[in-house]
Amino acid sequence: MVASVAELANARGIHECFQWFTREKQWINEQHLALCRIPAPTFLEEKRAQWMVAQLRSLGCEARLDRGGNVIATLTPVREGPFIAVTAHLDTVLAPRQPQDISLGSDGRFLGPGVADNGAGLAALLAIAGAMKASAPMEDGVHPVVFIANVGEEGEGNLSGMRYLVKQSPLGPKIGAFIVLDGPSTDHITCEALASRRYEISFSGPGGHSWNDYGIANPVHAISRAVAWFTEHRTNGRSSGPRTSYNFGTIEGGTSINSIPTLARAKLDIRSEDPDQLDQFSELLSASVERARDIENERTTGGKVAAKIREIGSRPGGRLKEGAKILSFVRAVDSFLNIRSHLDCASTDANIPLSMGLPAVSVGAGGQGGGAHTPAEWFHPEGRELALKRVLLTLALLMRDPAPAPPAR
């Protein structure tokens, strides 16, 4: 397999793409910074999506938005599949408030929210489309390529863009394999989908004055007790066996220091390699909320609190089938390029196709990065070219594979 990768790498079309990556390095960096300066928080990705459409069209691609808000682009006006999809999510957890929030550091690092996750993936998507469009021989193959910049990957987006693409879009049944570009680096191959559930917990009550109405049930006190009880009685997610994690990411409520709140809310993320653990943690959450409500109401001398749990997200698990060609292709390319990578389990857009038995991997788009989901996020483009070669070679192998017809679904 490595020998066939070496032969492929010396083909004229591939070699021209490699040269394009080197020649257009500055252009790729400029596109990366420009797209990150367009705010794209989850559910508000349209401006960045329209910008991506314009850039893909300027490269000579056929590009449009689908009904789910995803950017769909092809090298030519291809109508038949099965397609090989290269995807990257548009949305970010945090968004720049002004263009100056995305800056270039003196050491060459890109600074600001979203520059790594997923500015790196989107820039790679543009670079690969640009290189392939500039090299006509790369358009040849058994299977055409479709480039997709999708919405709703982060947080409460709940993988909505990928869900629409795979389950509702007319394009979905025509896709035979997925390469998901998510974040920087080349050190991992995500081929197992990490399942998760997200909940919003709320306590409500009559509220009142901190002195005159003292004694009525307080939603903030109740929700604090629920969080404390849950964290004290959860199982150890880092013990031997499948790993499980939980995180209360937000907690809010009240209007002033001298007012008893009418409402308090918290949001919880639970992830596990074992679906049974998700069920156990969900049951613990219900028990914690009920116990906190009952204790608060037992202590009240007036109005009581009510509690509600609402599921706001659920990501399915799944894994590549044994002997999947897409994994052997990535492994062979990594061996040829001397990339040291490991298989991992994570929550990405690949969760949806993997949960349906479709061939999919999620890989980094090169460079180095850190501080994802924080205001201190950063990305350095050094090493980006290696990742672009990695994706291109894997893509070329998939394009020439006679068998990635999508299974019935």
Q: Is the dihedral of CA 17, 59, 85, 87 positive or negative?
A: positive
Asked whether the beta carbons of 274 and 193 are under 8 A apart, the reply is no
Nearest C-alpha neighbor of 21 from the set 337, 298, 270, 279: 337
409 residues of the chain, pLDDT tens digit each: 776 899 999 999 999 999 999 999 999 999 999 999 999 999 999 999 999 999 999 999 999 999 999 999 999 887 787 999 999 999 999 999 999 999 999 999 999 999 999 999 999 999 999 999 998 656 666 789 999 999 999 999 999 999 999 999 999 999 999 999 999 999 999 999 999 999 999 999 999 999 999 999 999 999 999 999 999 988 654 556 789 999 999 999 999 999 999 999 999 999 999 988 999 999 999 999 999 999 999 999 889 999 999 999 999 999 999 899 999 999 999 999 999 999 999 999 999 999 999 999 999 999 999 999 999 999 999 999 999 999 999 999 999 887 665 555 5
Residue 139 pLDDT: 60
Architecture of the domain delimited by 197-315: 2-Layer Sandwich (3.30)
Sequence-distant contacts of 297-301: CB under 8 A, at least 24 apart: 297/217, 299/217, 300/215, 300/216, 300/217, 301/215, 301/216
- Nearest-angstrom CA–CA distance, 221 and 392: 55
pLDDT tens figures, 14-46: 999 999 999 999 999 999 999 999 999 999 999
**Which residues, listed in sequence order, are joined to residue 360 by a DSSP beta bridge?**
178
Nearest C-alpha neighbor of 344 from the set 356, 330, 361: 361
Residue 138 pLDDT: 65
pLDDT tens figures, 115-160: 999 999 999 999 999 999 998 656 666 789 999 999 999 999 999 9
Topology agreement, domain 2-193+317-400 and domain 197-315: no
Asked whether the beta carbons of 192 and 343 are under 8 A apart, the reply is yes
CB atoms closer than 10 angstroms to residue 78: 15
* CATH number given to 2-193+317-400: 3.40.630.10
Residue 136 pLDDT: 66
Sequence spans of domains, the chain: 2-193+317-400, 197-315
